[in-house]
């Protein structure tokens, strides 16, 4: 009958063909469940980046054997897929909304920093940070980047601006990266771009250590930068500093 895609039932056995095991009934799908403690533990492990298999094995080790658990590894994976990741996505959405609302209040001047790297994946973490009315840093967005070229920064700035409702900050502070500078010019042409003083001061030893008496030069430069309280005062102190140490031709100090 196979030739015509038909089958004929020749015999029916209604009795069980294997012995029943009542003690294993609890492992049937309708009897398995995750307790509140187990669910909270799964959520904690997932947030910490622990693999589901490791999470399940920790439950097995604590219970003594697989048989002592009222669930299987698949239940752990299903809970992560259906519940935990949905919770994280909702939290991310809330955080995004909070960042956008914060930007509306404190987004006049923003710092963009890419000095943080993740050792495991060799990705650059770019973060947009503002300062609230309490003088506290507040995160306005972040992204992991594989490349630090103009197009990568341009894409990031465009995405961030869309998330912030298309409103560019009045000012932005960054390090002295030419790719960032060019991307800002393309994406935020009306935003005033300034270099972060922390990054500049951090480079002093490497930029001036070839000069005789560079330690005195570094100390004097720090004094000029941190102890000048007006523009006129800074300009005067800076010119005196360059003249005193013969640094007028230094391209780095002149910003070239």
Q: What is the pLDDT of residue 233?
A: 93
- Give domain status of residue 56, yes or no: yes
Q: What is the pLDDT of residue 10?
A: 83
> Between β-strands 123-131 and 109-118, what pairing exists: parallel, antiparallel or unpaired?
antiparallel
Please identify, among 195, 220, 244, the residue that sits at the C-terminal boundary of a domain: 195
Please identify, among 65, 95, 125, the residue that sits at the C-terminal boundary of a domain: 95
CA distance 122 to 131: 28
CA distance 59 to 40: 12
Q: Within this chain, do residues 188 and 150 fall inside the same structural domain, yes or no? A: yes
Q: What is the pLDDT of residue 160?
A: 92
Cα dihedral sign for 58, 90, 117, 138? Answer: negative
- Give domain status of residue 12, yes or no: no
pLDDT surpassing 90 at residue 153: yes
**11-20, 108-117, 192-201, 223-232: which has the minimum mean pLDDT?**
11-20
Q: Structural domain tally of the chain? A: 3
Crossing angle of helices 231-245 and 214-227, rounded to 10°? 170
Question: Do 199 and 220 contact (CB within 8 A), yes or no?
Answer: no
pLDDT surpassing 60 at residue 85: no
Higher per-residue pLDDT: 61 or 122: 61
Structural domain for 190, as ranges:
107-195
Q: Within this chain, do residues 117 and 84 fall inside the same structural domain, yes or no? A: no
Query: For residue 163, what are the contacts with CB-CB under 8 A and spacing of at least 6?
Result: 96, 99, 100, 141
Q: What is the pLDDT of residue 208?
A: 84
Q: Within this chain, do residues 187 and 214 fall inside the same structural domain, yes or no? A: no
Distances (CA, A) of 240 to 25, 136, 219, 222, 224: 88, 35, 14, 14, 10
List the strands of the sheet with 171-174, edge to edge: 137-145, 123-131, 109-118, 171-174, 192-195
Q: Within this chain, do residues 35 and 87 fall inside the same structural domain, yes or no? A: yes
- Give domain status of residue 42, yes or no: yes
- Give domain status of residue 19, yes or no: no
Token pair 């951090």 is at which residue? 202
Give the DSSP H/E element, type plus range, for residue 32.
Answer: none
What are 111-130's pLDDT values in tens digits? 998 877 655 667 888 899 99
In DSSP notation, 210-238 reads TSTTHHHHHHHHHHHHHH--SHHHHHHHH
CA distance 113 to 141: 11
Please identify, among 40, 65, 95, the residue that sits at the C-terminal boundary of a domain: 95
- Give domain status of residue 250, yes or no: yes
CA 144 to chain centre: 6
Full-model pTM:
0.56
SS3 of 247, please?
coil
């Amino acid at each position: 009958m196979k030739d015509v895609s038909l089958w004929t039932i020749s015999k029916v056995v209604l009795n069980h063909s294997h012995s029943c095991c009542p003690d294993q009934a609890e492992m049937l799908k309708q009897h398995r469940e995750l307790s509140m403690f187990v669910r909270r533990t799964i959520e904690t492990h997932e947030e910490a980046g622990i693999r589901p298999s490791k999470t399940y094995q920790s439950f097995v080790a604590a219970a003594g054997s697989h048989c002592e658990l009222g669930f299987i590894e698949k239940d752990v994976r299903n809970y992560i897929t259906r519940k935990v990741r949905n919770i994280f996505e909702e939290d991310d959405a809330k955080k995004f909304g909070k960042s956008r609302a914060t930007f509306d209040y404190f987004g006049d001047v923003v710092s963009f920093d890419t000095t943080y790297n993740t050792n495991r994946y060799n990705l650059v973490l770019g973060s947009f940070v503002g300062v609230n009315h309490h003088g506290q840093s507040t995160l306005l967005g972040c992204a992991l980047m594989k490349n630090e070229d103009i197009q990568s920064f341009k894409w990031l700035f465009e995405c961030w601006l869309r998330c912030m409702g298309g409103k560019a900050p009045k000012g932005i502070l960054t390090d002295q990266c030419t790719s960032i500078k060019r991307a800002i010019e393309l994406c935020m042409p009306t935003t005033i771009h300034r270099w972060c003083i922390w990054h500049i001061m951090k480079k002093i030893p490497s930029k001036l250590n070839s000069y005789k008496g560079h330690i005195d030069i570094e100390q004097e430069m720090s004094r000029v930068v941190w102890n000048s309280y007006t523009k006129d005062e800074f300009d005067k102190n800076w010119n005196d500093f360059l003249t005193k140490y013969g640094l007028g031709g230094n391209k780095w100090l002149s910003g070239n």
